[in-house]
Structure 1
């Protein structure tokens, strides 16, 4: 097991830091000659190479077979991030870019999507945000026929958001009954959430049994049940900017990128990963093999809990990128985005 960074000699620490920073900047293995030419290093390439060899034996650096240079291992990156990294606060331009996208008109989900896209663009990673599903205030409810036995239930919210579900139609459902059911639900639900009206709706249907067509009554009950069974607590997970992962350096490692893009398709697994960051106070950083989900693609995840004014965790913001991402710049950027999302959620 490698010693703490404080137990390394000053020369070893300096060479290790320079090697990691050069690797994170270029994404390529770093040679001893490159380090020896840096300002402040009055060492021959041979001397640097000897120290690099020692760091490799400690498990902090590795030498790819195709290169004489060295690159940090996942363990070395962890040691660097925890003990040597100097965070760089987002610039005023970067903060303005995130806040302006968050302030664009639209639903909460659109604002979250825009904010996540801004984070993705600035960090050159795939951006992510996960928040609890917020039950919308209903403005309109309608049913659109799809076939003889199925219809699309469409829910329009006060914020302009739209949700839809496919529902089964009772046998012999007439088009007029679809309209009647939609009008009834709009009149009953407008200005309220689904949670607020479910019990009242059941009572009203019973009281107005004679006034409603039997088929329309059955469809109303099925439509509401569909949203109930879907689970109000299901989180909203937004992933934006996967194309950012296809950078110039990725061209030499297309298999890794292909694996990462495949992994990003597993929304439930990503949600579980982000959920594991909810309990921490600070930003969580998962580097390469430390995280089972992205171990195959050798990727890193930076995630920050989003806290409301009362301190309760209301979501998680994060990015996914290669292990060679600029942690010093991206970590504070994720922190700032988490604070912006907290204000969005109010």
Structure 2
């Protein structure tokens, strides 16, 4: 059934519909005619309200989950409400300060992405998600700096100006070979991705085309491998706060929750959904059965792309939760977080976007 556009409803029907949706999103429970008559300021009898509720149900905007249990919005009704009636509640000054403070902390890009997913979970009361970018970093400079006899700091500078650091364990014989290994990687392997650099390095060593001694060759291999191994283990999707989905209402519908958690565990399917938000000009909202992925779990996703310092979209941040999410509050919060993450990456050269594997 195709839902009736909100513009075709009478003023009275539109107001009752709005009150039902807002009441449901606030409480998570169906809204009855008695509560509307007493709390909604409609100046209508329960019988008149029930008549309008029946009309809205017939139009596919509301549903009655149980006899005499009141009404709740359908997915189609939620879509109409979100697109045409929702009164957006901008983040408070305190929430803005919290987002900016959390994302302005220094550290590698991975830390910023994990912080973002945790932050979205905390602010929304649902699960926060961050889809990380897919581009591979190309080398511009590589350095190995001694941190003592048994460790070195491997510093990779990408062509986009981003910097990443890793700790490399050393054998005692390697301490004097740091400079030679650094110079070799920078002079011979620059402009290549990590995978290309590792392949070229192994080819040159196997062919005897390098004058590096055994210790230096070992360092070169370790220095590149520390990123390659790390990249292969990075998730497609960072999800934090899944426990927030297990509230009292959810436990009464354990099959729906189980389905949602399986969706999140798979990650690839959810990432494919977020991928569709990368080219959006604004925050996108996916509601329940509108998307086949959430046909069983009855979940909604609010997602917004974030950009690197060149203005390119490199990933997506979002929130996933039940369809009764507080859209008016969460939508602008996700949008603000995406923009704040982008600004954080712009002003922090050490936070490279280049090599993360999505």
Q: Shared fold by TM > 0.5?
A: yes
Question: Structure 1 pair 227/163, CA: closer, same or farther in 2 (3 Å)?
Answer: farther
Higher RCO structure, 1 or 2 (CA under 8 Å, sep 6+): 2
Question: Structure 1 pair 312/54, CA: closer, same or farther in 2 (3 Å)?
Answer: same
Where do 5+ consecutive residues of structure 2 fail to align? 146-151, 157-162, 347-358
Distance 2:200 2:123 in 1: 48
- Equivalent residue number for residue 9 of structure 1: 10
User: Is the 1:287–1:299 contact (alpha carbons within 8 Å) kept by the matching residues of 2?
Assistant: yes
Alignment of 1:82-97 (within 5 A): 82-97=83-98
- Equivalent residue number for residue 159 of structure 2: none
1:300 Cα deviation (Å)? 0.1
RMSD: 3.9
User: Is the 2:3–2:77 contact (alpha carbons within 8 Å) kept by the matching residues of 1?
Assistant: no
1:62 Cα deviation (Å)? 0.5
- Equivalent residue number for residue 244 of structure 2: 244
Distance 2:165 2:67 in 1: 52
Q: Name the stretch that deviates more: 7-16 or 104-113.
A: 104-113
Alignment of 1:316-327 (within 5 A): 316-327=316-327
SS in structure 1 at match of 2:278:
coil
Q: How many residues align?
A: 323
Where do 5+ consecutive residues of structure 1 fail to align? 142-153, 165-174
- Equivalent residue number for residue 334 of structure 1: 334
Distance 2:236 2:165 in 1: 13
Distance 1:43 1:285 in 2: 34
User: Is the 2:25–2:324 contact (alpha carbons within 8 Å) kept by the matching residues of 1?
Assistant: yes
Distance 1:156 1:326 in 2: 45
Distance 2:247 2:142 in 1: 43
- TM-score norm. by structure 1 comes to 0.79
Question: Structure 1 pair 35/237, CA: closer, same or farther in 2 (3 Å)?
Answer: same
- Equivalent residue number for residue 293 of structure 2: 293
Alignment deviations for residues 246-285 of structure 1 (CA, whole Å, 9 cap, x no partner): 2232232222222211111112112211111112111110
SS in structure 1 at match of 2:41:
coil
Alignment deviations for residues 23-42 of structure 1 (CA, whole Å, 9 cap, x no partner): 00010111111111124210
Instruction: Point out 4+ residue stretches in structure 1 off by more than 6 angstroms.
Output: 175-180, 190-194
